[in-house]
Structure formats: structure tokens, C-alpha cells
């Protein structure tokens, strides 16, 4: 592989990662809509779409492996490729979490899995999730450290939403029973883990660019 | 690095992975005991011990990276190293899940987080988790495909235990309220995800050895 096409391949892999982040963002948005609207057709779209996300992951991993095998890169290029291999794992897991959300929506259809009291929380969690993955895409595309910092703040918002969910569940007037409490607990965890993985993506890029670990590890 | 010491380094990284699996297994066993016995001292041991698991992960990742950079391996050696880098991520996540279990125990101390009705389920989940991680260690150490197959069966047992938990929670006579239902839901998910990661470790080794993907992807 010529030097220019090696560089092009690295850039193309990066572009594929950004595309994968966009696909995962769409899956998450659609899953949130399916959840809030009890829309089983949208839920099924997300569930069916996860196989494509997994396929993109395999493709990117193989391309990274091929570069390692044929080009035997060192130094920054090597770290770029190993970073890409880790990021693709985070993005795939984010796709799985969107699928889990869609499956809850589907399981409870035609009922709404999310009771009225906590609709606003999940609506905002969906928005925060969209912001998180959009910023993760920007961080990957442009090595944008400022976006990585904003992403950490969005993760804090998601933590507060998650805490708010628990307060609602544990309040004296949760009238919806155990099954609903279980659903809301698991859904809350899926959004929280989605945020954790977005933070993980951003931190890997920051470490690649700066050599610094920005903050404490993403808990969760 | 001489050829012999390169081979020794690969073997030593593998041994470190096995050690890490053992450490994670101990953390999980201790976390389960802390949970069932409402033992806050044991819970604190697990919580404090997670930092060491994270440090081992970083060390193994850096050693893999160094081998990639200095030895520029190809073919099987390259796939061995990339496999090790993925396995270490799964093992670290398993350590995090043990820590989450310990934190639930700690949070509810001096009360028991696990009500009597589901103690047997969590006791068995703890045993299955121990078996899973012990077998994962064997698979890593010896490229033991038979152990990998057994591990898949253990994961099926964990799935059945997880389903049993939900049946208990959703039965007419769950008398312990919402907070307890939330705890049990999250604990069940931590054990399930622990099993998923052990399966993931085994499948990566099987793929390395045989070039085959053994079964459908570990759901969860």
C-alpha cells in the first residue's frame, strides 16, 4: 500500500467511525421516540438496524487489523489505530443499548413503557443522548477537545436525570407497580451506560491527542 | 527484543491475563458474600480492589502496545495481541460489575440488599459467576475450547436465574417494595452482564484458535 493510500485508509477509517456514531445517534433517537410514543414500528426499525451497526464494527476492526498487519505502523499512527479499535467497541455497545430501549418499547406495546410522571425525564435523556453522540462524532472527526469537554458536562446532566428517575421511583406516590419500576430502572441504566460509552470515546481521543487522561474514569 | 524474549513477553502477557481473571473472580466471590451477608468490610475490600484491576488493565494494554510498536508482528502473533487487548477490556468491565454489586451491599448496610425470597437465586448466581470466570481463565491459559463450550452452558444457567429473579419480582406476593425491586433488578443485570463478558472472552479466544465465530453474539 502506497504511503498516500495508507494515509487515505486511516482517514477513511476515521470517516467510517464518524458515520457509525451518526448511525448510533439515529438509532438512539428513534428508540427514544419508539419508547415515548409506544411506536412498535419504530422499535422494530431500531432492532433490525443493530445488525448493520455490528457489521460496520467488524468491517472497521478488520480494516484496522489489515493496516496493522501490512503497514506495521509505529508511534502516533499505531496509537491512532488502536484507539480506533477501542472506539468502535464503545460505539457498538451504544448501538446495543439503543436496541435494548427499543425492545422494552416493543415488549410493552401497545402500552407505554414509560409512565406519565417520568416522560419528561426520558424526553430529556433522549435529547442529552443525542447531544452526547453528536459531540462524540465531532470529537472523532475533528479531534475537537472543546467538544470533549462539553460532552463531560452532558454526562453530568445524564447523571442528574438518572438520579431524578430514582427519586420518582422511590417517592411515596409511585402508583405503577413493580413491573413498571423494573422497566424504568433498566431504561435509566441503558441511557446512563450510553452516556458512559460516549464519554469513553471522547476520552480516548483526548488521550490520543494530548497524551493526558482528562478526568476520573467514566463510572457506571 | 530477541526472538526468545519476544515469545516470553507474549507468554507473560497471557499469564497476566489469567491472573487478572483470577483477581476478578475473587472480587466477584467476595462481592457476592458481601451482598448475601450484608458485610460492609468485604464490600469495601472489593471497592478498594477495583483500582488494582484497572491498573493491571493499563499495564497489559501498554505491554501489548509496546509489542505492536517494537516487534511489528504479523499474522497469528498480531491477532493474539489484538485479542489480548480486547480480553483485557472485558475483564476490567467484569471487575467493575463486581464493584457495583459491592456498592449495593454497602449502600444498604446494615440491612440486607437481597430479600430472603431471592437469596437462593443470588447464591447460585454467585456460584455460576465463579465458574464462568474460572473457565474464562482456563480458556485464556490453555486455549481450551472444551472449557469455552462449558462456559456457554453456564451462561444459559445465568440467563435462567435472571429470568427467575424477574418472576419473583413480578409475582403477586413481592412484599418488599419498590426500592428493593430496583436493587434486585440492577443486581440481576450486573450478574447477567458479568456472564456476557465472560462469554465474550471465551469467544474471542475460540475465534483466535479456530477462526470460527462459535455462536450468536452474547446478547445483553
Q: What is the pLDDT of residues B22-70, one digit of tens each?
A: 999 999 999 999 999 999 999 999 999 999 999 999 999 999 999 998 8
How close does chain B come to A91, measured CA to CA in Å? 14
**Predicted local confidence at residue B173, as pLDDT:** 76
For chain A, domains (ranges, CATH) are 2-210 (1.20.58.220)
Contact indicator for A34, A46 with CB cutoff of 8 Å: yes
Tens-place pLDDT, residues A136-151: 999 999 999 999 999 9
In this predicted structure, the answer to whether residue A214 has a pLDDT above a threshold of 70 is: no
* Cross-chain residue pair B170–A185, CB shorter than 8 Å: no
* Cross-chain residue pair B65–A79, CB shorter than 8 Å: yes
**Predicted local confidence at residue A120, as pLDDT:** 96
In terms of residues, how long is chain A? 220
State the Cα–Cα distance between residues A182 and A168, nearest whole angstrom.
13
Which range (A24-28, A55-59, A138-142, B4-8) has the least confidence? Answer: B4-8
**Predicted local confidence at residue B74, as pLDDT:** 77
* Cross-chain residue pair A78–B85, CB shorter than 8 Å: no
State the Cα–Cα distance between residues B189 and B166, nearest whole angstrom.
11
Check residues A12 and A211 and name the one with the higher pLDDT: A12
Confidence of residue B115 (pLDDT cuts 50, 70, 90): very high
**Predicted local confidence at residue B130, as pLDDT:** 96
Confidence of residue A85 (pLDDT cuts 50, 70, 90): very high
Contact with chain A for residue B216, Cβ under 8 A = no
Q: Which residue of B has its CA nearest to A177?
A: B178
User: Which residues of chain A neighbour B186 with C-beta distances below 8 Å?
Assistant: 185, 189
Q: Which residue of A has its CA nearest to B55?
A: A217
* Cross-chain residue pair A186–B189, CB shorter than 8 Å: yes
Contact with chain B for residue A174, Cβ under 8 A = yes
Contact indicator for B199, B213 with CB cutoff of 8 Å: no
Q: What share of chain A is helix, strand, coil (3-state, %, to 5)?
A: 85, 0, 15
Mean pLDDT, chain B, rounded, equals: 93
Contact with chain A for residue B55, Cβ under 8 A = no
What is each CA distance from A208 to A103, A139, A212, A213, B5, in whole angstroms? 35, 11, 8, 9, 29
Contact with chain B for residue A45, Cβ under 8 A = no
**Predicted local confidence at residue B215, as pLDDT:** 56
Say what angle helices A145-170 and A119-142 make with each other, to 10 degrees.
160
In this predicted structure, the answer to whether residue A46 has a pLDDT above a threshold of 60 is: yes
Which range (A32-41, B105-114, B170-179, B182-191) has the least confidence? Answer: B170-179
Percent of chain A with pLDDT strictly greater than 70: 95
Check residues A7 and B18 and name the one with the higher pLDDT: B18
Shortest CB distance from B169 goes to which of A170, A178, A217?
A178
Q: Of A175, A172, A220, A160, nearest to A194 (Cα)?
A: A220
How close does chain A come to B98, measured CA to CA in Å? 12
- Burial, B207: exposed, middle or buried (Cβ in 10 Å; 0-12, 13-18, 19+)? middle
Using DSSP, state whether A217 is helix, strand or coil. coil
**Predicted local confidence at residue A75, as pLDDT:** 82
DSSP string, B53-87: HHHHHHHHHHHHHHHHHHH---HHHHHHHHHHHHH
Confidence of residue B1 (pLDDT cuts 50, 70, 90): low
In this predicted structure, the answer to whether residue B2 has a pLDDT above a threshold of 80 is: no
What lies within 8 Å, CB to CB, of B165 at 6+ separation is: B118, B121, B184, B185, B188
Query: Please, how many CA atoms are within 13 Å of residue A161, restricted to the half-sphere of its CB?
Result: 27
Contact with chain B for residue A166, Cβ under 8 A = yes
How close does chain A come to B74, measured CA to CA in Å? 5
Confidence of residue A70 (pLDDT cuts 50, 70, 90): confident
User: Which residues of chain A neighbour B178 with C-beta distances below 8 Å?
Assistant: 169-170, 174, 178, 181
Q: Which three cell numbers stand for residue B117?
A: 425470597
How close does chain A come to B198, measured CA to CA in Å? 16
Percent of chain B with pLDDT strictly greater than 90: 86
Mean pLDDT, chain A, rounded, equals: 93
Confidence of residue A125 (pLDDT cuts 50, 70, 90): very high
User: Which residues of chain A neighbour B54 with C-beta distances below 8 Å?
Assistant: 217
In this predicted structure, the answer to whether residue B217 has a pLDDT above a threshold of 60 is: no
Confidence of residue B203 (pLDDT cuts 50, 70, 90): very high
Confidence of residue A219 (pLDDT cuts 50, 70, 90): low
Tens-place pLDDT, residues A161-176: 999 999 999 997 789 9
State the Cα–Cα distance between residues B130 and A174, nearest whole angstrom.
37
In this predicted structure, the answer to whether residue B151 has a pLDDT above a threshold of 60 is: yes
User: Which residues of chain A neighbour B72 with C-beta distances below 8 Å?
Assistant: 72, 74
Amino acid at each position: 500500500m502506497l504511503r498516500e493510500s495508507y494515509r487515505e485508509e486511516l482517514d477513511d477509517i476515521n470517516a467510517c467511525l464518524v458515520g457509525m456514531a451518526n448511525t448510533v445517534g439515529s438509532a438512539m433517537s428513534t428508540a427514544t421516540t419508539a419508547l415515548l410514543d409506544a411506536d412498535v414500528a419504530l422499535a422494530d426499525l431500531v432492532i433490525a438496524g443493530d445488525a448493520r451497526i455490528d457489521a460496520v464494527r467488524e468491517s472497521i476492526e478488520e480494516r484496522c487489523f489489515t493496516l496493522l498487519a501490512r503497514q506495521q505502523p509505529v508511534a502516533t499512527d499505531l496509537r491512532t489505530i488502536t484507539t480506533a479499535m477501542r472506539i468502535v467497541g464503545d460505539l457498538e455497545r451504544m448501538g446495543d443499548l439503543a436496541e435494548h430501549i427499543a425492545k422494552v418499547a416493543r415488549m410493552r406495546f401497545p402500552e407505554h413503557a414509560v409512565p406519565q410522571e417520568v416522560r419528561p425525564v426520558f424526553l430529556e435523556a433522549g435529547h442529552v443522548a443525542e447531544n452526547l453522540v453528536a459531540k462524540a462524532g465531532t470529537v472523532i472527526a475533528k479531534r475537537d477537545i472543546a467538544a470533549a469537554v462539553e460532552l463531560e458536562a452532558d454526562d453530568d446532566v445524564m447523571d442528574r436525570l438518572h438520579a431524578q428517575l430514582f427519586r420518582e421511583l422511590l417517592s411515596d406516590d409511585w402508583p405503577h407497580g413493580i413491573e413498571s419500576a423494573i422497566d424504568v430502572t433498566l431504561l435509566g441504566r441503558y441511557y446512563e451506560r450510553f452516556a458512559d460509552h460516549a464519554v469513553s470515546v471522547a476520552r480516548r481521543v483526548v488521550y490520543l491527542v494530548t497524551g493526558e487522561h482528562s478526568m476520573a474514569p467514566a463510572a457506571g
